[in-house]
Amino acid sequence: MGRLDGKVAIITGATSGIGLCTAEVFVAEGARIVIAGRRAPEGEALARRLGGSCIFRQTDVTVEEQMQALIALAVEKFGRIDCLFNNAGGPAQTGGIEGLDVERFDAAMATLVRSVMLGMKHVAPIMRQQGSGSIINNGSIAGRLAGFSSSMVYGAAKAAVIHFTKCVAMELGESGIRVNSISPGAIATGIFGKALGLSTEAAEQTPAVMREVYKAAQPIPRAGLPDDIAHAAVFLASDESSFVNGHDLVVDGAMTGGRNWSQQQAGYVALRKAFDQGAG
């Protein structure tokens, strides 16, 4: 405990899933935080539960003026910003390239990419003045390899986030500011339900199902949890990662490492049987 003592952080998308869990863990580690989300009742309830170390501001992260106001609030209340976790996101349109709707494409890019740009743009001068800071952007393994999201638009947006992170890291690193991304694997949150068209309320009830569905998707025999990403964010926000910059931290239980060992061995057994049958 206490790995973030004295630090001030902003966490977007904090009313559910990874953002909510990260808010809890950051406060437990000693940080003072400003959390943002579109759903005021959920955000205000979380702030009350976390106490005086947490302030909520209702924010649409795609709107520049609202992101400016969020960042200004953190400076007004706490005097500095040590970490910005650009976590807010959401599902994007599914289906093939020929069926994509331009308005839905633009809306997804605004939520997933523009919001990250706005956060970095407006926190950068504050961190430059301080001479330090850590920006963390939420990527995805879908941004590293095709076929890891139900939406090609989501994958493309997250690829943009990962590369954008590296580009900005090269600039801001010269001012003592670290910029990194975290790419989660199959994390049991409501985003999968939202992607399949469930209401927000119904989607928030699906993580238990996701834990079961994804427990064999990677060598580690369980689905990823929001805690896994929250603790990775603690590392990147803390002084323990003071020489980590421009890095995409993959937290996926080795889902993207290759074929699972047991599947590979089962394939060899099937191949051997086919050889034996062919020889007969």
Domain boundaries, the chain: 8-279
Can you name the CATH fold of 8-279?
Rossmann fold (3.40.50)
pLDDT greater at residue 29 or residue 262: 29
Per-residue pLDDT at 199 = 60
Per-residue pLDDT at 261 = 87
Q: Over 60: is that where the pLDDT of 193 sits?
A: no
Q: Terminus-to-terminus CA distance in the chain, angstroms?
A: 65
Mean pLDDT of 146-175: 97
Over residues 36-56, the pLDDT tens digits come to 999 999 999 999 999 999 999
The verdict on pTM exceeding 0.95 is: no
Q: Over 80: is that where the pLDDT of 196 sits?
A: no
Mean pLDDT of 242-255: 97
Active site residue 154: yes
Percentage with pLDDT > 70 across the chain: 92
Q: Interhelix angle for 102-109 vs 152-172, to 10°? A: 30
Per-residue pLDDT at 204 = 65
CB-based contacts of 169, cutoff 8 Å, min separation 6:
178, 179, 180, 245, 246
Per-residue pLDDT at 146 = 96
Residue 234 backbone class (left: φ over 0; alpha: ψ -120 to 50; beta: rest): alpha
Annotated active-site residue in 85, 148, 154, 214: 154
- Model confidence band, residue 201 (pLDDT cutoffs 50, 70, 90): low
Mean pLDDT of 122-149: 97
Over residues 53-92, the pLDDT tens digits come to 999 999 999 999 999 999 999 999 999 999 999 999 999 9
Percentage with pLDDT > 90 across the chain: 80
Interatomic CA distance for residues 136 and 12, integer angstroms = 11
By the 8 A CB rule, do 167 and 117 touch? Answer: no
Mean pLDDT of 201-207: 64
- Model confidence band, residue 190 (pLDDT cutoffs 50, 70, 90): low
Lowest mean pLDDT among 20-34, 174-188, 197-211: 197-211
pLDDT greater at residue 170 or residue 191: 170
Share the mean pLDDT of the chain.
93
No. of H helices and E strands in the chain? 11, 7
